[in-house]
Amino acid sequence: MFNSFRPISLLLSQPFVHFQGENPKKPGAPNTVRLYSIASTRYGDSFDGRTASLCVRRAVYYDPETGKEDPSKKGICSNFLCDSKPGDKIQITGPSGKIMLLPEDDPNATHIMIGTGTGVAPFRGYLRRMFMEDVPSFKFGGLAWLFLGVANTDSLLYDEEFTNYLQQYPENFRYDKALSREQKNKSGGKMYVQDRIEEYSDEIFKLLDDGAHIYFCGLKGMMLGIQDTLKRVAEQRGESWDQKLSQLKKNKQWHVEVY
């Protein structure tokens, strides 16, 4: 079980970071590296190229039997980061991985982004690039469509930013939320991102057929549900999902970063 989100700005940019801090269980020894997606573009939130933002969720463990917090099992790196103070030195290396880099070859492309929780991080960076930064080499004129799954309205991340884009760029941005503990899917169960995907499946399939990129970031568990949904939709349309998926991968339209 987890609580509390905290945006953190760090020196360095790019999509992935190896993280180190002191291992509280082995004083003097470094922590093993952790990977975090970066929630800003190479220019950083202050546009000077000297910071990068992460979206970190403090991992807290509650004993399922007693319901009490057990600090010995809390997330080491997330707590280390969330407890850090401005001016603290944090060692980072990287970046690593290219799968979640935003392809910028076609500024009019369609990008369908599916995220759960802090998995919104890379998409927040993409959307800044598309709608907030003034970059002469990349004038976005395509469609960005974000599906964001969180527990409830209170746990929405960067909602104000995204709502602003929606108002400013209604032709270029779509934003659909799946609030699992506030909304129900059509079978009366929790509303998950895969339920939203199913709702818009005809449009999504058409966009994919026309070359859209699709990205997934967040909980590993969502991929199973999403693949089941996509397979079911493909079958209803008389298409083979396996063939479609291998074509999407071959065309480099399929981008997955889950943990």
**Options 18-26, 48-56, 146-154, 228-236: segment touching ligand A2P (CB under 6 A):** 146-154
Minimum separation from the CB atom of position 109 to ligand A2P (A): 26
Determine the interface stretch with ligand A2P among 5-13, 27-35, 89-97, 189-197 (rule: CB under 6 A).
Answer: 189-197
R_g of the chain computed on alpha carbons: 19
Q: How far apart are the first and last CA of the chain?
A: 16
Site membership for ligand A2P, residue 189 (CB under 6 A): no
Q: Is 232 in the site for ligand A2P (CB under 6 A)?
A: no
113 binds ligand A2P (CB under 6 A): no
118 in a labelled binding site: yes
**Marked catalytic residue, from 13, 36, 55, 192:** 36
Per the document, the length of the chain is: 259
Does residue 98 contact residue 37 with C-beta atoms inside 8 Å? no
| Residue 102 interacts with ligand A2P (CB under 6 A): yes or no | no
Say whether residue 117 binds ligand A2P (CB under 6 A). Answer: yes
Question: Which residues have a Cβ under 8 Å from the Cβ of 213 and sit 6 or more positions away?
Answer: 103, 109, 110, 111, 112, 253, 255
Task: Please tell me the distance from the alpha carbon of residue 54 to that of residue 157, in angstroms, as a whole number.
Answer: 12
Q: In the bound complex, what is the minimum distance in angstroms from residue 18's beta carbon to ligand A2P? A: 22
Annotated catalytic residue, options 171, 192, 217, 246: 217
Strand partners, 174: 145
| Nearest-angstrom CA–CA distance, 150 and 190 | 11
Interatomic CA distance for residues 37 and 117, integer angstroms: 12
Q: How buried is 206 (Cβ within 10 angstroms: 0-12 exposed, 13-18 middle, 19+ buried)? A: exposed
**Minimum distance from CB of 210 to ligand A2P (Å)?**
26
Per annotation, catalytic residue among 13, 43, 77, 257: 257
**Is 219 assigned a ligand-binding role in the annotation?**
yes
Give the C-alpha separation, 190 to 20, whole Å: 36
Q: Is residue 41 a contact residue for ligand A2P (CB under 6 A)?
A: no
Annotated ligand binding at 37? The verdict is: yes
Clarify whether 133 is annotated catalytic. Answer: no
Smallest gap from Cβ 81 to ligand A2P, in A, equals: 16
Short-list 101, 102, 97, 92, CA closest to 52: 92
Which DSSP state fits 34?
E
Residue 4 tokens read as: 């509390």
Q: Is 221 in the site for ligand A2P (CB under 6 A)?
A: yes
Strand partners, 6: 56
User: Which one of 78-86, 96-104, 126-134, 219-227 is the stretch in contact with ligand A2P (CB under 6 A)?
Assistant: 219-227
Annotated binding residues for NADP(+), written as ranges, equal 37, 57, 118, 180-181, 190, 218-219, 257
List residues binding ligand A2P (CB under 6 A): 116-117, 149-151, 180-181, 190, 192-194, 219, 221-222, 225
Active site residues: 36-37, 217, 257, 259
